[in-house]
A and B are shown apart, each in its own frame.
Chain A
Amino acid sequence: MSWLSKFVKPKIHALVKKIEVPNNLWVKCLGCEQMVYNKDLKETYSVCPTCGFHLRLSSTDRMDWILDEGTHREIEISDVVFDPLKFKDKKKYSDRIKEAKSKSNQNDAIFLRSGTIGGQKAVVAVMDFEFMGGSMGSAVGEGIITAAEKAIDINSALVIFTSSGGARMQEGIFSLMQLPRTIIAVNKLKDENIPYIVVLTDPTTGGVTASFAMLGDVTFAEPGALIGFAGPRVIQSTVRETLPEGFQTAEYIYEHGMVDEVVPRSKLKLKIANVIRHLSNNNVGNSARA
């Protein structure tokens, strides 16, 4: 252990350094602060066996978990305009992207596959918080559009796992324009009676919540996930009062009517399959659908 991990509290530590689940033998749970054997965590999909705390699940692990084995099919996302503003802060955006790509082996903060979930046909989009905070630029927008088009094309449900800090500032107005873009995409699903299920995972904020993430036919959230429009720090500096306990957690927004159910990871797969089945049945007045 480095001096850092000894002296910095686990929650703060998590902000400083990503927990590399596959490489370490033991992981400290952010909920109960107990040491958890990594192999156990793999089996529970990063839910602490002691306290039930939901640690973040990497996008690839999540995809492996959600789709039934042997049904996975990759879906390509077309290239988009790269670095439209030639943006530079302390670092060039183009360099940040390169770094994120090589670190994650992903093209951007979203990836897509089709397959089945508990036997139900689905196109799945998983956002990747590790890739520049899951921020939404043109590539993520294109991902949502591609996913929706594919779902219509193969007549299967669309399931999106969100995880995002919001719009990707480095793409300026183009990141803002992904809000209407993704809304058009999921609107088309509704025209075709394609079930659209959103699972809000930790964290989902900003432009993603103000667009496709809040427009699901059915919306689930993972326990403890931070979900909101404005970040808690921004709100605190505006209202200058203490935020209520549990503010912007999945449970809190559930109480305020924003999601259908807070579902632990262990039950998520079954629940998603069940919803798809109900919504895809040849229901009354739906007979026009094949």
Chain B
Amino acid sequence: MQFLNFEKHIADLEGKVKELTGLDLVGEKSENNDNEISKLKEKIGGLIKKTYEKLSPWQITLVARHPERPHFIDYLDILVSDFQILSGDRSFSEDRAVIAGIGTFHSRSVMIIGQEKGFDTDSRLKHNFGMVKPEGFRKIARLLKLADKFGLPIITFVDTAGAYPGIGAEERGQAEAIAQCIKTSLEVKVPFISVIIGEGGSGGALALATSDKVLMLQNSIYSVISPEGCASILWRDNDKAEEAAESLGLTANFLKNKGVIDTIIAEPTGGAHRDHHSTIRNVYDAILQELNELINISPDDLLLKRQEKFLRYGRI
């Protein structure tokens, strides 16, 4: 596992455990070693718990971006059955930064849409690091309408550094595509749940999170700009990302307090990347709970409430 820079003390102890375990393997097994290993393991557990209890906004940013954190495809695999992928924007191309389709979630047919960053060089390139282009946003808008037409609840998974900033993306109307995607989100009359599972980067995230209920994993982030971007613009110094993260209020706790998100989903001790299974289980439970509430609301009320919710932000 890849350790983050603030986990150095944990990494050191893990290294020692490995070393001792290695000795075991070459036949120098002794009870002393066994004792030592279990002591170290206990200590590691304590350290992880202590470290993760009080992560700073910047440390949370690093956890949110951890490459071994469960990705959208991991959730899709476990949470959805009978999945049929739906692709393309019907006017230009397919954008694999977004994976979408219909499937069964807890014995109910749903539309499921998520951003996928990829997990190795090949897949990262294939998915463009989860940075969506105009065709991706147009695919999303198309599928939101499809879900609306057939009364399918919509579940979206957000994990992106932001919309793709490229020449072609601009030429094909990145801004307009995002605007249309948000607009469509504010028109559909089916239950709409979003889960921010890693990075919620600005407009690229919002295009999938203008929903009835926005859920956030405990160590995920949601922000108008990345701490690095903010630091370079306001501080004119890329090294001030830590301070910018502090100022931006991008953590689940902060956003819940401000009423911008609805629910925080707990992560296992040491972060989602240390235990995919429990994380995905928690996400499943949280979605199910919200969905069970939303399906009892009439379509017109759903839409009205969603609009009222978003109109509120900034009002006294």
Let me know if B315 is at the binding interface, CB within 8 A.
yes
Q: Does A244 contact B (CB under 8 A)?
A: yes
Q: A95 contacts the other chain (Cβ, under 8 Å)?
A: no
| Chain B residue at minimal CB-CB distance from A212 | B179
Smallest CB-CB separation from A238: which chain B residue?
B165
A177 with B244: CB separation less than 8 A: no
Which residues of B have CB within 8 Å of A243?
167
Q: Is A100 an interface residue (CB 8 A)?
A: no
B224 at the interface (CB under 8 A from A): yes
What is the interface of chain B mostly: helix, strand, loop, or mixed?
A: helix
**Contact of B165 with A145 in the complex, beta carbons under 8 Å:** no
Would you call B21 an interface residue if the criterion is a C-beta within 8 Å of the partner chain's C-beta atoms? no
The answer to whether A173 and B260 touch across the interface, beta carbons within 8 angstroms, is: yes
Q: Does B171 contact A (CB under 8 A)?
A: yes
- Asked if residues B222 and A173 are in contact (CB atoms below 8 Å), the reply is yes
CB distance from A137 to the nearest CB of B (A): 7
A229 touches which of B175, B229, B233 (Cβ 8 Å)? B175
Residue A88 at the chain B interface, CB threshold 8 Å: yes
* One of A78, A238, A256 near B166 (C-beta < 8 A): A238
* Most chain B CB atoms below 10 A, which of A79, A89, A145, A239: A89
Decide if B143 is an interface residue (CB 8 Å cutoff). Answer: no
Residues on the A chain within 8 Å of B249, using CB: 85, 172-173
Closest Cβ neighbor of B247 among chain A residues: A87
The interface stretch among A7-15, A66-74, A179-187, A279-287 is A179-187
A residues near B183, Cβ cutoff 8 Å: 183, 187, 215
Question: How far, in angstroms, from A252 to B102 measured CA to CA in the complex?
Answer: 38
Interface contact B224-A229, CB-CB below 8 Å: no
Q: Which one of B170, B233, B247, B310 contacts A88 once the chains associate, using CB atoms below 8 Å?
A: B247
Contacts of B206 in A (CB 8 A): 176, 179-180
Task: List, in ascending order, chain A residues with CB within 8 A of B197's CB.
Answer: none
Interface membership of A230, Cβ < 8 A: yes
* Chain A: minimal CB distance from B176 (Å): 4
Q: Does A90 lie within 8 Å of B173, measured CB to CB?
A: no
Q: Are B178 and A210 in contact (CB under 8 A)?
A: yes
CB distance from B26 to the nearest CB of A (A): 48
- Closest-CB distance, B240 to chain A (whole angstroms): 8
* A89 pairs with B314, CB closer than 8 A: no
B312 CB to nearest chain A CB (Å): 9
Q: Which of A89, A137, A210, A215 contacts B244 (CB 8 A)?
A: A89
Within 8 A of A (CB), among B170-204: 170-176, 178-180, 182-183, 185-187, 202-203
Query: Is B230's CB within 8 Å of the partner chain A?
Result: yes
- Assess whether B311 is in contact with A258, with CB atoms less than 8 Å apart: no
* Complex alpha-carbon distance, A177 and B203, angstroms: 10
What is the distance, in angstroms, from B197's C-beta to the closest C-beta of chain A?
17
B179 and A214 form a contact (CB under 8 A): yes
Determine if B6 is an interface residue (Cβ-Cβ < 8 Å).
no
For the complex of A and B, 8 pairs with smallest distance between CB atoms: A138-B314, A230-B165, A209-B175, A177-B313, A229-B175, A89-B234, A214-B176, A180-B310
Q: Which residues of B contact A (CB under 8 A)?
A: 163-167, 169-176, 178-180, 182-183, 185-187, 202-203, 206, 210, 222-225, 229-230, 233-235, 243-244, 247-250, 255, 258, 260, 307, 310-311, 313-316
